[in-house]
Amino acid sequence: MLIGVPKEIKNHEYRVGLIPGNVRQLVVHGHQVIVQKDAGTAIGLSDDLYVAAGATIIDNAEEIFAKADMIVKVKEPQPQECRMLRPGQILFTYLHLAPDPEQTKLLQESGAICIAYETVTDRNGGLPLLAPMSEVAGRMSIQAGAHCLEKSYGGIGILLGGVPGTPPAKVAIIGGGVVGTNAARMAMGLEAHVTVLDKSLDRLRVLDQQFGRRLNTVYANVDTIEQAVLEADLVIGAVLVPGAEAPKLVSRDLVGRMKKGAVLVDVAIDQGGCFETSHATTHADPTYVVDGVIHYCVANMPGAVARTSTFALNNATAPFVLALADKGWVQALSDDVHLRNGLNVAKGKLTHPAIAHLGPVVSPESVIG
C-alpha cells in the first residue's frame, strides 16, 4: 500500500502522523511511504530521518493526497484537505465530527473511508487512541500548575514539594481516570500533598492499590469537593462523563472562597470544563484570573509537548496503521470490531452512532459489504 503523511496545517500543530520508526515498520512490511517535506522538522524529525527509514519526501500536500491509498494524520482535515480526499482513499486521524457538521459534509462528499482515532475502542471499553493524549495532559497539568503557582505568574508562591521544614503544596485532583492518575503520579513525584476525588469507588480502589499511603483517595460529592478545593493550592479538573458535557463541580461562589493565588487547571475544558469560571484558553495566552484564582484552561495541552505527544500517539496507532496497510480497510475492519468502531464516514455515508444528529447513520458492516 502507498501511505501518505502530509504536514499538519492547523495553527500551531507540530505533531506528525507517522514517526520514522513506524515508517520503517511499514517499509519492512512491503509498503511505500511518502512524507511531506518538513512534516516533522519542528519536533526534531528531519526529512533525513524519514529517508533513512525508507520514506520518499514529497514537496507538497496535493501530490501526497493525489497518490496515497491511505492518509495518516493527527488533526481533523481542514476544508482544503477534505477537498483533496478521493473516493475509496483511507483517512486515519482524529476527526471529532460530532460538533463539526461542515467537516462531516465534506468527508461525505469525498467518498473516502474516514476512520477516527477517537472512536477506536479496546477490549476493556477504553479509547486506546485517546488515552495517550490524556496521559500527556495529566502529566502536563502538574507542570503547568506548578508554574502558575510561582509569583511571576500571579500564583501564591508555593513550591509543590516544599523543602525540609516547610509544608508541601496541597493538590486536589477531581476525577481519577487517565488524566487524574497521571496528574497524581507527577504531583506525588514532586512530593506535593495529593488528594484524588472520584465518584467511582472502583477507580478509588485501583488508585489506592497502586499508590498506597502516598495518595489520599476521597469519594467525590458536593461536601468533599468543597473541602478539598478550599484547602488546595492547586486543583486539577479531570472528570469525564462520556458523550456529555463536563459537570460543573466547582461553582463561582466556591472559587471566590478559595485561597488568593491558588491555581485551577481545567483539563476537562475540551468538554466544557468542570469549574463554573472556566473558559478555553490557548498556549499563546494560557491563563486568566477570577477572584484572585489563576485559571489555566488550554483545550489542546498535548500540542505544547508535540514531540512526546507524537511518539505517544504513534505507539498507540501503529498496530492499526499496520493492519490497515497489510489487509486493506475491508479486511482490517472485518477482522477487528475495535478498529471498525473507528469508522465514522465511508463512501459518503455516516457510520457511527455518535454523529446520528448530523444525518442518517448506516452500520459499518453495510458499507464493508
Ligand X SMILES: NC(=O)c1ccc[n+]([C@@H]2O[C@H](COP(=O)([O-])OP(=O)(O)OC[C@H]3O[C@@H](n4cnc5c(N)ncnc54)[C@H](O)[C@@H]3O)[C@@H](O)[C@H]2O)c1
Among 28, 222, 241, 362, binds ligand X (CB under 6 A): 241
Whether the Cβ atoms of residue 19 and residue 311 lie closer than 8 Å to each other: yes
Which residue in the set 4, 77, 177, 261 belongs to the binding site for ligand X (CB under 6 A)? 177
In 3D space, the residue among 156, 192, 202 whose CA is nearest the CA of residue 172 turns out to be 192
Cβ 173 to ligand X, closest distance in Å? 10
Q: Based on CB atoms, which residue is closest to ligand X, 69 or 266?
A: 266
Instruction: Give me the least distance between CB of 305 and ligand X, in Å please.
Output: 11
Q: Any contact of residue 200 with ligand X (CB under 6 A)?
A: yes
31 classed as catalytic? no
Question: Of the candidates 174, 171, 178, which has an alpha carbon nearest to the alpha carbon of residue 146?
Answer: 171
The residue with its CB nearest to ligand X is: 177
SS3 340: helix
Taking the C-alpha atoms of 233, 236, 239 and 244 in order, what is their torsion angle to the nearest 10 degrees? 110
- Distance (Å, whole) CA 342 – CA 232: 39
Determine, following the binding rule CB under 6 A, whether residue 287 of this chain makes contact with ligand X: no
Map residues 15-54 to x or -, x wherever contact with ligand X holds by CB under 6 A.
----------------------------------------
Smaller CB separation from ligand X, 24 or 185: 185
Catalytic residue among 198, 233, 270, 336: 270
Specify the stretch interacting with ligand X by CB under 6 A; choose among 115-123, 131-139, 285-293, 336-344: 131-139
The active-site residue out of 38, 96, 147, 208 is 96
- The verdict on 133 binding ligand X (CB under 6 A) reads yes
Q: Report whether 122 contacts 128 (CB < 8 A).
A: yes
8 Å CB contact between 112 and 85: yes
Exactly one of 238, 262, 316, 345 binds ligand X (CB under 6 A); that residue is 238
Minimum CB–partner distance for residue 159 and ligand X (Å): 25
The CA distance from 188 to 206, in Å, is: 16
CB of 103 to ligand X, least distance (A): 19
| 96 catalytic residue (yes or no) | yes
Find the part of the chain contacting ligand X (CB under 6 A) among 150-158, 298-306, 331-339, 343-351: 298-306
Residues from 308 through 337 that contact ligand X (CB under 6 A): none
> Interface with ligand X includes 218 (CB under 6 A)?
no
Q: Which one of residues 77, 155, 168, 176 is an interface residue with ligand X (CB under 6 A)?
A: 176
Which position among 34, 129, 179, 186 is part of the footprint of ligand X (CB under 6 A)? 179
Query: In 10 A of CB 230, how many CB atoms?
Result: 14
CA 32/CA 2 separation, integer angstroms: 5
286 touches ligand X by CB under 6 A = no
Burial of 318 per CB tally in 10 Å (0-12, 13-18, 19+)? middle
| Interior/surface letters 347-368, b for 16+ CB within 10 angstroms, e for the rest | bebbbbebbeebeebeebeebb
Candidates 69, 81, 270, 336: give the one binding ligand X (CB under 6 A). 270
DSSP structural state of residue 359 = S
| Euclidean distance between CA atoms 290 and 309, whole angstroms | 30
Three-state SS across 154-220? Answer: CCCCCCCCCCCCCCCCEEEEECCCHHHHHHHHHHHHCCCEEEEEECCHHHHHHHHHHHHHHCEEEEC
Tell me: does residue 81 bind ligand X (CB under 6 A): no
Smallest separation (angstroms) from ligand X to the CB of 257: 19
Residue number, 6 or 286, with CB nearest to ligand X: 286
Distance CA 68, CA 204 (A): 46
How does 92-126 read in b/e, with b if 16+ C-beta sit within 10 Å? bbbbbbbeeeebbebbbebbbbbbbbbbbbeeeee
Query: Which C-beta is closer to ligand X: that of 132 or that of 168?
Result: 132
**Catalytically active residues, by annotation:** 96, 270
Give contact residues for ligand X (rule: CB under 6 A): 133-134, 137, 174-180, 197-200, 203, 220, 238-241, 246-247, 249, 267-271, 299-302
